Amino acid sequence: MAAPPHWVGVLLTPRVPGCTCGCMGTAHLTIDLAALAANWRALDALSAPSVETAAVVKADGYGLGARQVARTLLDAGARRFFVAVAEEGAAIRETVGPEREICVFSGHMPGDAEMIAAQGLVPILNSIEQLTRHFESLPGHPFGVQLDSGMNRLGLEPVEWSAVREVILGQNPALVMSHLACADDPSDPMNHRQLATFREMTEGVAVPLSLSATGGILMGPEFHFDVTRPGIGLYGGLPFSDAAPVVGLSIPVIQVREIAAGEIVGYGGSWLADTPTRVATLSAGYADGLIRAMGNEAVLFHGDVPCPLVGRVSMDLLTVDVSHLPEVPEALDILGPQQSVDDLADAAETIGYEILTSLGPRYRRSYI
Ligand SMILES: *Cc1c(COP(=O)(O)O)cnc(C)c1O
């Protein structure tokens, strides 16, 4: 509907932007580093003092900034960090200092030798091919080994391991690890099957052993071994249901309009007003990781009041029904104490991991 020419008055009365955070049009991502540290300590407290709790900071610290995250977890007490690829290890080396161990899950890839050596990274070797590459290009350089206890993703199979085990152990690996496929569901029988396989494969092995990420830590001491590798729980995600929320995301309102019954909103007209509706258009979209599957499903919040997303998610915009709010706020929250990354993930039929690691580069970020 056409707006009356208020603009004349607006031109005569310049408005001061009301947002107290000082931003204008940029969505604002808040990362609570104290909550991150508290989550590390809480997960650390779930295992015996003899068990080392490491920290997984791959994918740019699950999207929250690997350096800031690593610095915080270092101060909290983490001594060993895990990343996915060598470049991610190089990115945090200066932050964590020369002494801390940085392990690389993808192992020793072709062309990585120089970076592994220069940055003092510990590749977790996954195959005979990687073992060969490592011993040939960097003899004597520290390494770990991943065993496949049943996930069939990375690591040496039991037959391969038994063939090379004595030779490898003679080279004194820094860590022997495996990974659980189904630890988000403690009742899944796969967990104990993998535990038994890992025990069998590591019988008599006198180097530090590691099996569990966040889910395995929650399943109890038999899964802990010497080193645990939490990731998602640190960042406030399930399966660590007691996690403190780490991320807040507030998205500014650009424009508000009144929609008449029978009018559509957004691409494809996927939402149709059945009564007069006030719709706010917000400045973030799927290019910022608010994935398209949230369209017509997710809710945003003004304080504790939910406001449904209506219509499709655009690349840079969201449209939200704010009819029930007494006045339209400057911004609405999509992540925060009212809505966790997992709540939002449910609306988009995905998991908290994907919501976090999709958060785009356009946000103004504040670390508190
Ligand atoms: C990502 C990853 C982790 C951390 O898992 P979370 O479920 O995020 O705690 C640990 N180990 C390996 C091998 C991983 O790939």
Q: Is the CB of 231 under 6 A from ligand 1?
A: yes
Listed residues 235, 258, 292: the one ending a domain: 235
Could you give the residue numbers annotated as active site? 58, 267
Element (H, E) at 33: helix 33-44
CA distance 98 to 302: 45
Q: Once rounded to an integer, what is the mean pLDDT over residues 295-315?
A: 97
Q: Is the minimum distance from the CB of 213 to ligand 1 under 6 angstroms?
A: yes
Residue 133 annotated in ligand binding: no
Give the closest residue (by CA) to ligand 1 atom 12.
179
Nearest atom in ligand 1 to 235's CA: 8
What are the tens digits of pLDDT across the range 98-156?
999 999 999 999 999 999 999 999 999 999 999 999 999 999 999 999 999 999 999 99
176 falls within a domain: yes
Distance CA 56, CA 15 (A): 46
Is 226 in the same domain as 258? no
pLDDT confidence of 11, banded at 50, 70, 90? low
Tell me, using a 6 A CB cutoff, whether residue 179 lines ligand 1: yes
Residue 276 has pLDDT above 90, yes or no: yes
CA dihedral 90, 93, 95, 100 (to 10 degrees): 150
Residues 270, 88: contact at Cβ < 8 Å?
no
What residue owns the CA closest to ligand 1's atom 15?
A: 105
Centre of ligand 1 from the C-alpha of residue 273, in Å = 44
Q: Are residues 99 and 198 in the same domain?
A: yes
Percent with pLDDT over 90 in the chain: 93
Q: How many domains does the chain have?
A: 2
Which of 13-27, 246-260, 264-278, 287-301 has the lowest average pLDDT?
Answer: 13-27
Work out whether the CA dihedral 207, 211, 217, 219 comes out positive or negative: negative
- Per-residue pLDDT band for 18 (boundaries 50, 70, 90) equals very low
* Same domain flag for 18 and 70: no
Per-residue pLDDT band at 203 (split at 50, 70, 90): very high
pLDDT of 166 over the 90 cut:
yes
**Do 160 and 253 belong together in one domain?**
no
Does 1 fall in a domain?
A: no
Percentage of residues in the chain with pLDDT exceeding 70? 93
Owning domain of residue 164: 33-235
Last residue of a domain, one of 177, 207, 235: 235
Q: Do 258 and 144 share a domain, yes or no?
A: no
Residue 181 placed within a domain? yes
Mean pLDDT computed over 71-87: 98
**pLDDT at residue 330 is higher than 50:** yes
DSSP 339: B
**Can you tell me the distance from the alpha carbon of 77 to that of 157, in angstroms, rounded to the nearest whole number?**
33
The pLDDT assigned to 25 comes to 77
Determine which residue's CA is closest to atom 4 belonging to ligand 1: 231
Residues 85 and 188 in one domain: yes
Classify residue 2: in a domain, yes or no.
no
Residue at 291 is within a domain:
yes
Residues 335 and 346 in one domain: yes
- How many whole angstroms from 257 Cα to the centroid of ligand 1? 45
Distance (Å, whole) CA 149 – CA 180: 8
CA of 3 to the centre of ligand 1 (A): 52
Ligand 1 pocket test, pick from 80, 102, 122, 179 with the greatest ligand atom count within 8 Å of Cβ, gives 179
* Spatial separation of the C-alpha atoms in residues 105 and 112, rounded to whole Å: 13
Q: Which two tokens stand for residue 210?
A: 């590691």
Q: Decide: 80 in ligand 1 pocket, CB within 6 A.
A: no
With a 6 Å cutoff on the Cβ, whether 277 touches ligand 1 is no
315 a known binding residue? yes
DSSP per residue over 264-329, as a string?
EESGGG-EE-SS-EEEEEES--GGGT--GGGTTT-EEEETTEEEEB-S---SS-EEEE-TTSSS--
What confidence category does residue 9 fall into, taking pLDDT thresholds of 50, 70 and 90? Answer: low
The whole-number pLDDT of residue 22 equals 54
Cis peptide upstream of residue 142 (ω within 30 degrees of 0): no
For residue 136, how far is its CA from the centre of ligand 1 (angstroms)? 29
Q: What letter does residue 14 receive in the DSSP assignment?
A: P
Give the nearest ligand 1 atom to 184 CA.
7
| Claim to verify: residue 229 and residue 303 sit in the same structural domain | no
Position 17 confidence tier, pLDDT thresholds 50, 70, 90: very low
For residues 215 and 58, what is the distance between their CA atoms, to the nearest angstrom? 17
Quick one: average pLDDT of 195-209? 98
- Cβ contact 5:317 at 8 Å: no
Is 23 in the same domain as 72?
Answer: no
User: Measured in angstroms, how far is the CA atom of residue 57 from the centroid of ligand 1?
Assistant: 9
CATH number at residue 95: 3.20.20.10
Q: What is the mean pLDDT of residues 18-30?
A: 70
Query: pLDDT per residue over 279-292, tens digit each?
Result: 999 999 999 999 99
> In terms of domains, do 220 and 271 share one?
no
Q: What is the pLDDT of residue 14?
A: 42
Q: In the numeric block, which tokens belong to residue 326?
A: 């007494």
The residue among 209, 235, 261 that closes a domain is 235
Residues 16 and 53 in one domain: no
| Residue of minimum CA distance from atom 13 in ligand 1 | 179
Q: What CATH number is given to the structural domain containing 257?
A: 2.40.37.10
pLDDT for residue 3 is more than 70: no
Based on the domain organization, do 82 and 203 belong to the same domain? yes
The helix/strand count (H/E) of the chain reads as 12, 19
Mean pLDDT of the chain: 94
Residue 240 lies in a domain: no
**CA distance readout (Å), 4 to 16, 257, 264, 267:** 22, 12, 21, 26
| Closest Cα to atom 11 of ligand 1 | 213
